[in-house]
Structure 1
């Protein structure tokens, strides 16, 4: 995932491409997730449908974070790649009977291609912006059940993802800026269980982010 992100960044600044401002952003914050419906079809665990309450535990290792590369084609329009390391744990460690582990904590990763609209210096030196994008969900699936012989533990490509963003940035130098934003994500996940079945769940996350950007 990070190799693909690095390749994308290189392509945005490769020789022969017309001049444009490139921005690298790093962010963290507080991320949460509402409850979601889970469907499991598995010969060992059994077939079940239930609603799972989640929490993000943003500051617990591995922490919640994101990396973003944006190419501003004009002062107001840009596009780029966004990797977010979202996380969801069972709220208060409460899970259906039989489960020892049921989480996406390393994490519920999303990789999206985003488009942005900004309004430079609309509020003095403050530049509001909005963005949205589509991509894929690449979670670390962690499921352990008493009736399953095998533990599911690993990264999977589980389905499509989407994101939406609204925030504002403030310059702190010629090339540096700080920003704050709301960021929502949606991921539709169909995960393969090592016991032979499938787990399906559509999960939303909400985050309030703060970060720093470097422009060149």
Structure 2
């Protein structure tokens, strides 16, 4: 077994109570409604007046405790929408019985404004006016264009594949659309502010937890579940427009995720149950029944969102 296969931990099909099923249409409607409601609440919170921004609210040295014009110690919670671009990359499928297939330079689709939406949430902690940290969750999407011809290499069931074919010839589904999920811990630094505009930089690393939907035509059932598939990393640059109690921000992110996940042929349920199943299979050393599949997903992402700001009171504040 490859070392990276041992690392990502295959799933195990346990006798575990399944969550009540929710139709995909209802689930996607709820996702959109939650994203819109969250963004609306953050906009309202960011524009509310704050007495800490008044001239009368000052520390003993005469400097405002923390205002839009003077970033300092604070905690921010935010949400965002955006649009990614995924670089073309190779998709690999490996399983027993003579299958070792590569689809070269798959031009991944994103469709960020169709259900389910591209979105993200984050929690930031600024320890000083200059340095901070951020826990960032991004929900993106990845679709393989099944009807577009691509270059193929390798074998399926011991037989060579043609040099060109359509992915639909071999797959009923090939996507990570619920989604291409990344959770990263980032270090942050603020650059000198220009009025209410506060530029910042960040970089970090974390893990990929996609919801896979992969269905080779040679398998009796699809793999449709949350999985841990490998590490993720990102670098970012943004502009924060600081309002009385919150901020509006625009940001560019560069992300890279190494996907290599087990094909279990099972329909998953809730995230914790799927993760427990994967951990249990890894712990027992059991191989997934239908092999392994994955790709490296490298992306440009442009996002925009809102932050609500929580500023601690100081001893000198009145």
Q: Could you say whether these structures have the same fold, taking a TM-score greater than 0.5 normalized by the shorter chain as the test?
A: yes
- Contiguous gaps of at least 5 residues in structure 2: 1-71, 149-165, 265-288, 311-318
Runs of 4+ in 1 over 3 A off after TM superposition: 91-95
Residue 120 of structure 2, aligned match among 54, 57, 66: 66
TM-score (norm 1): 0.86
Q: What does the per-residue CA deviation read over 1:2-29, in whole Å, with 9 as the maximum and x for residues that have no partner?
A: xxxxxxxxxxxxxxxxx94101111111
Give the C-alpha shift of residue 120 in structure 1: 4.7
**Matched residue, 2:222:** 151
Q: CA deviation at 1:41?
A: 0.5
Q: Structure 1, residues 76-113: CA drift from partner, whole Å, max 9, x if none?
A: 11002100001111247535222111001010100000
Q: Deviation at 1:184?
A: 1.6
Q: 1:213 to 1:93 in 2, by over 3 A?
A: farther
Decide whether the 8 Å contact of 2:196 with 2:243 is kept in 1: no
- The residue that corresponds to 1:11 in the other structure is none
Matched, 1:170 2:224: no
Would you say the 8 A contact 1:166–1:181 is kept in 2? Answer: yes
Question: What's the CA shift for 1:134?
Answer: 0.5
Counting only pairs closer than 5 Å after superposition, residues 106-185 of structure 1 correspond to structure 2 as 106-121=178-193, 123-173=194-244, 175-185=245-255
Query: Are the counterparts in 2 of residues 20 and 74 from structure 1 also a CA contact under 8 Å?
Result: yes
Higher relative contact order, chain-length normalized (CA < 8 Å, sep 6+): 2
Greater percentage in strand:
1
Aligned pair count reads 196
Does residue 104 in structure 1 map to residue 104 in structure 2?
no
Q: Deviation per CA, 1:153-173, whole angstroms, max 9, x where unpaired?
A: 000011100011101011222
Once the two structures are TM-superposed, the CA of residue 189 in structure 1 deviates from its matched residue by: 1.1
Q: Unaligned regions of 5+ residues in structure 1, if any? A: 1-18
SS of the residue corresponding to residue 58 of structure 1 reads coil
Q: Which shifted more, 45-54 or 106-115?
A: 45-54
Larger relative helix fraction: 2
TM-score (norm 2): 0.59
